Amino acid sequence: MLILLPPSESKTVPATGAPLDLAALDLPALTPDRQDLADLLAEVSARPDALDVLGVGPSLADDVARNRSLRTAPAGPALQIYSGVLYDALDADSLSDAARRVADESLLVISALWGAVRPTDRIPAYRLSMGSTLPGVGKMSTWWKPRLTPVLDELAAEEIVVDCRSSAYAAAWKAPAPRTVTVRVEQQRADGKRTVVSHHAKHTRGLVAHDLCEARAAGAALDTVERVLDALAERWTVELKEPTSRAAGVLTVVLAPAHD
């Protein structure tokens, strides 16, 4: 099982720790691309128009400034660096020991800067979105797609893929359709109608990732999309649209009506 996650815009900045070691990151085939991009981002972030180039406002100036010291700043495990709604719900620290081992093997964060990182990969805090456009590189998702595709196609060759990414990050690599399900979240309303939700979608996807790691640690095979459905159905109301040879399936988590 491979669980794909987006990164978070917000990140925890380590106060101490050894700096980034690019050669130690998983998926070493991406090392040259990571190096080139980190160097370019540091250069861009030192420019007077850095905020405009990266498409962020003045309130994020400190985040952009940190991009200038990517090679020397303290680094930490990716699951400690990424924060925000999804990662709060994933709550890696609350996973059982066995489930944490599953998480380390199964979770993969698609990153605009690093391409893809594992939970234990040590990275510094940075600011770069997959929708950003860098000089000489272009849009990050377009730049990464031909670089990620051969690496992640091989990684996912025998895996069921549970895709919790947002659309911007999904554009950087198309997971193998017949073995992939994307996680969709809908809110049931009191009148019976459903709405697609945003904040709750991130929160729910984090909980889904947590639950799947615990289920796998407890012995669930999770080697078919139907078994993934069964594991989630123990907690959630879930509907499955089966994948086809051309299109990934959809696991829709239906949240109960909100009560005042």
- Categorize the per-residue pLDDT at 259 as very low, low, confident or very high, splitting at 50, 70 and 90: low
**Runs of H (alpha helix) within the chain:** 31-45, 50-54, 61-66, 78-81, 85-90, 97-106, 140-155, 167-170, 199-217, 225-233
pLDDT score for 227: 97
CA distance 187 to 185: 7
End-to-end CA distance of the chain: 38
How far apart, in Å, are the Cα atoms of 251 and each of 137, 185, 192? 34, 8, 19
- Categorize the per-residue pLDDT at 257 as very low, low, confident or very high, splitting at 50, 70 and 90: confident
- Categorize the per-residue pLDDT at 256 as very low, low, confident or very high, splitting at 50, 70 and 90: confident
pLDDT tens, 92-141?
999 999 999 999 999 999 999 999 999 999 999 999 999 999 999 999 99
Average pLDDT taken over every residue of the chain: 95
Cα–Cα nearest to 1, from 204, 206, 202, 181: 181
Q: Give yes or no for residue 260 having a pLDDT over 70.
A: no
pLDDT tens, 174-204?
999 999 999 999 988 888 788 887 778 999 9
149-153, 243-247, 254-258, range with the lowest pLDDT: 254-258
Please report, rounded to a whole number, the percentage of residues in the chain having pLDDT higher than 90: 92
pLDDT score for 258: 66
Span 19-39, average pLDDT: 97
By DSSP bridging, strand 237-241 and strand 249-255 are antiparallel
115 touches 107 (CB < 8 A):
no
CA distance 143 to 17: 31
